[in-house]
Protein backbone atom coordinates (compact mmCIF):
# COMPACT_ATOMS: atom_id res chain seq x y z
CA UNK A 1 0.00 0.00 0.00
CA UNK A 2 1.51 3.31 -1.01
CA UNK A 3 1.95 6.42 1.15
CA UNK A 4 -0.71 8.44 -0.72
CA UNK A 5 -3.30 5.71 -0.17
CA UNK A 6 -2.44 5.44 3.52
CA UNK A 7 -2.78 9.22 3.97
CA UNK A 8 -6.19 9.19 2.32
CA UNK A 9 -7.37 6.22 4.40
CA UNK A 10 -6.43 8.07 7.59
CA UNK A 11 -8.99 10.77 6.76
CA UNK A 12 -11.87 8.31 6.25
CA UNK A 13 -14.58 7.80 8.86
CA UNK A 14 -13.21 5.75 11.80
CA UNK A 15 -15.80 3.03 11.19
CA UNK A 16 -14.35 2.19 7.75
CA UNK A 17 -10.61 2.92 8.06
CA UNK A 18 -9.47 -0.58 9.02
CA UNK A 19 -11.83 -2.21 6.54
CA UNK A 20 -10.48 -0.06 3.69
CA UNK A 21 -6.90 -0.95 4.70
CA UNK A 22 -7.85 -4.63 4.46
CA UNK A 23 -9.59 -4.13 1.12
CA UNK A 24 -6.48 -2.45 -0.31
CA UNK A 25 -4.29 -5.26 1.04
CA UNK A 26 -6.61 -7.85 -0.52
CA UNK A 27 -6.60 -5.99 -3.86
CA UNK A 28 -2.81 -5.68 -3.88
CA UNK A 29 -2.51 -9.39 -3.06
CA UNK A 30 -4.89 -10.31 -5.91
CA UNK A 31 -3.06 -8.06 -8.39
CA UNK A 32 0.12 -10.03 -8.96
CA UNK A 33 1.34 -8.05 -11.96
CA UNK A 34 2.46 -4.48 -12.55
CA UNK A 35 -0.72 -2.82 -11.17
CA UNK A 36 -1.48 -1.88 -7.56
CA UNK A 37 -4.48 0.00 -6.23
CA UNK A 38 -4.35 3.65 -5.12
CA UNK A 39 -7.05 5.69 -3.47
CA UNK A 40 -7.32 8.91 -5.45
CA UNK A 41 -10.07 10.44 -3.31
CA UNK A 42 -11.54 9.71 0.10
CA UNK A 43 -12.97 12.31 2.45
CA UNK A 44 -14.03 15.39 0.52
CA UNK A 45 -14.99 18.72 2.09
CA UNK A 46 -18.29 20.41 1.28
CA UNK A 47 -16.29 23.18 -0.41
CA UNK A 48 -14.47 20.66 -2.65
CA UNK A 49 -17.83 19.05 -3.46
CA UNK A 50 -19.35 22.39 -4.50
CA UNK A 51 -16.38 23.04 -6.82
CA UNK A 52 -16.83 19.62 -8.45
CA UNK A 53 -20.58 20.15 -8.77
CA UNK A 54 -19.95 23.47 -10.54
CA UNK A 55 -17.96 21.78 -13.34
CA UNK A 56 -20.15 21.59 -16.42
CA UNK A 57 -22.72 23.86 -14.82
CA UNK A 58 -21.04 27.10 -13.74
CA UNK A 59 -17.47 26.41 -14.89
CA UNK A 60 -16.42 24.82 -18.16
CA UNK A 61 -15.95 21.10 -18.58
CA UNK A 62 -17.92 17.88 -18.55
CA UNK A 63 -20.06 17.20 -15.47
CA UNK A 64 -18.19 15.04 -12.97
CA UNK A 65 -20.85 14.66 -10.27
CA UNK A 66 -24.55 15.04 -9.65
CA UNK A 67 -24.01 15.52 -5.91
CA UNK A 68 -24.05 18.93 -4.29
CA UNK A 69 -22.20 19.60 -1.03
CA UNK A 70 -23.61 17.31 1.64
CA UNK A 71 -25.12 14.94 -0.93
CA UNK A 72 -21.95 12.92 -1.59
CA UNK A 73 -21.00 10.02 0.64
CA UNK A 74 -17.42 11.32 0.19
CA UNK A 75 -18.42 14.28 2.40
CA UNK A 76 -18.73 11.86 5.32
CA UNK A 77 -15.58 9.79 4.75
CA UNK A 78 -17.58 6.76 3.62
CA UNK A 79 -16.50 6.63 -0.04
CA UNK A 80 -13.29 6.21 -2.02
CA UNK A 81 -12.29 6.62 -5.63
CA UNK A 82 -9.47 4.47 -6.98
CA UNK A 83 -7.06 4.11 -9.84
CA UNK A 84 -4.46 1.49 -10.64
CA UNK A 85 -0.82 2.51 -10.35
CA UNK A 86 1.27 0.79 -13.00
CA UNK A 87 4.85 0.08 -11.94
CA UNK A 88 4.31 2.59 -9.11
CA UNK A 89 4.48 5.49 -11.61
CA UNK A 90 1.53 5.78 -13.98
CA UNK A 91 -2.12 6.15 -12.93
CA UNK A 92 -4.57 4.09 -14.96
CA UNK A 93 -8.37 3.99 -15.02
CA UNK A 94 -8.36 1.23 -17.64
CA UNK A 95 -11.09 -1.17 -16.55
CA UNK A 96 -10.27 -3.92 -19.06
CA UNK A 97 -6.48 -4.34 -18.84
CA UNK A 98 -5.22 -7.53 -17.22
CA UNK A 99 -1.76 -6.52 -16.01
CA UNK A 100 -1.20 -9.81 -14.18
CA UNK A 101 -2.38 -12.02 -17.07
CA UNK A 102 -4.76 -14.09 -14.97
CA UNK A 103 -7.63 -13.73 -17.48
CA UNK A 104 -9.53 -11.27 -15.24
CA UNK A 105 -9.30 -7.50 -15.69
CA UNK A 106 -7.42 -6.08 -12.71
CA UNK A 107 -10.10 -3.42 -12.17
CA UNK A 108 -12.80 -6.09 -11.81
CA UNK A 109 -10.67 -8.07 -9.39
CA UNK A 110 -10.83 -4.98 -7.15
CA UNK A 111 -14.57 -4.49 -7.77
CA UNK A 112 -15.19 -8.04 -6.53
CA UNK A 113 -13.11 -7.47 -3.41
CA UNK A 114 -14.91 -4.24 -2.52
CA UNK A 115 -18.24 -6.05 -3.03
CA UNK A 116 -17.14 -8.85 -0.70
CA UNK A 117 -16.87 -6.22 2.05
CA UNK A 118 -20.29 -4.74 1.26
CA UNK A 119 -19.19 -1.67 -0.70
CA UNK A 120 -21.36 -0.37 -3.55
CA UNK A 121 -19.63 0.33 -6.86
CA UNK A 122 -20.44 3.40 -8.95
CA UNK A 123 -20.06 1.25 -12.07
CA UNK A 124 -23.34 -0.46 -11.15
CA UNK A 125 -25.33 2.77 -11.12
CA UNK A 126 -27.99 3.05 -13.80
CA UNK A 127 -27.43 6.77 -14.36
CA UNK A 128 -24.11 8.61 -14.28
CA UNK A 129 -21.82 5.59 -13.93
CA UNK A 130 -18.76 6.38 -11.79
CA UNK A 131 -16.26 3.56 -12.36
CA UNK A 132 -13.58 4.70 -9.85
CA UNK A 133 -16.16 5.14 -7.03
CA UNK A 134 -16.94 2.81 -4.10
CA UNK A 135 -19.11 3.68 -1.11
CA UNK A 136 -20.10 2.07 2.16
CA UNK A 137 -23.79 2.70 2.64
CA UNK A 138 -24.50 -0.01 5.21
CA UNK A 139 -22.61 0.58 8.44
CA UNK A 140 -22.53 -2.10 11.12
CA UNK A 141 -22.51 -0.33 14.47
CA UNK A 142 -22.50 -1.81 17.94
CA UNK A 143 -26.26 -1.19 18.00
CA UNK A 144 -27.42 -2.19 14.54
CA UNK A 145 -26.92 -2.18 10.80
CA UNK A 146 -27.58 1.34 9.56
CA UNK A 147 -28.30 2.07 5.90
CA UNK A 148 -26.96 5.52 5.18
CA UNK A 149 -27.84 8.15 2.65
CA UNK A 150 -26.76 11.75 2.43
CA UNK A 151 -30.23 12.77 3.64
CA UNK A 152 -29.67 10.73 6.81
CA UNK A 153 -26.04 11.72 7.27
CA UNK A 154 -26.53 15.45 6.93
CA UNK A 155 -28.88 15.44 9.95
CA UNK A 156 -26.74 13.28 12.25
CA UNK A 157 -24.69 14.52 15.18
CA UNK A 158 -20.93 14.85 14.81
CA UNK A 159 -18.00 14.13 17.11
CA UNK A 160 -15.14 16.51 18.00
CA UNK A 161 -13.35 15.63 14.72
CA UNK A 162 -16.54 16.37 12.71
CA UNK A 163 -17.26 12.72 11.86
CA UNK A 164 -20.90 11.60 11.88
CA UNK A 165 -21.75 9.64 15.01
CA UNK A 166 -23.53 6.35 14.25
Write out pLDDT tens, residues 41-85. 999 999 999 999 999 999 999 998 999 999 999 999 999 999 999
Hey, where are the domains in the chain?
A: 3-153
User: 39 pairs with which residues across the strands?
Assistant: 82
pLDDT digits over 80-105, tens only? 999 999 999 999 999 999 999 999 99
Task: Please tell me which residue, 99 or 146, carries the higher pLDDT value.
Answer: 99
Q: What share of the chain is helix, strand, coil (3-state, %, to 5)?
A: 30, 20, 50
Give which of 86, 83, 90, 82 is closest to 33, Cα–Cα.
86
Q: Is 3-153 in CATH node 3.30.1380.10?
A: yes
What is the rounded CA–CA span in Å between residue 142 and residue 159? 17
Residues 106, 33 contacting (CB under 8 angstroms): yes
Residue 148 has pLDDT above 90, yes or no: no
Amino acid sequence: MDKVTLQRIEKLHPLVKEEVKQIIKDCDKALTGRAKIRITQGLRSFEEQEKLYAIGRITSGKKVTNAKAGQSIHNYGLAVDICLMIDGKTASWDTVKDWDNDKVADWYECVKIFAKYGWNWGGNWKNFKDLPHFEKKAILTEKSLLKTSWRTLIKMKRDKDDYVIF
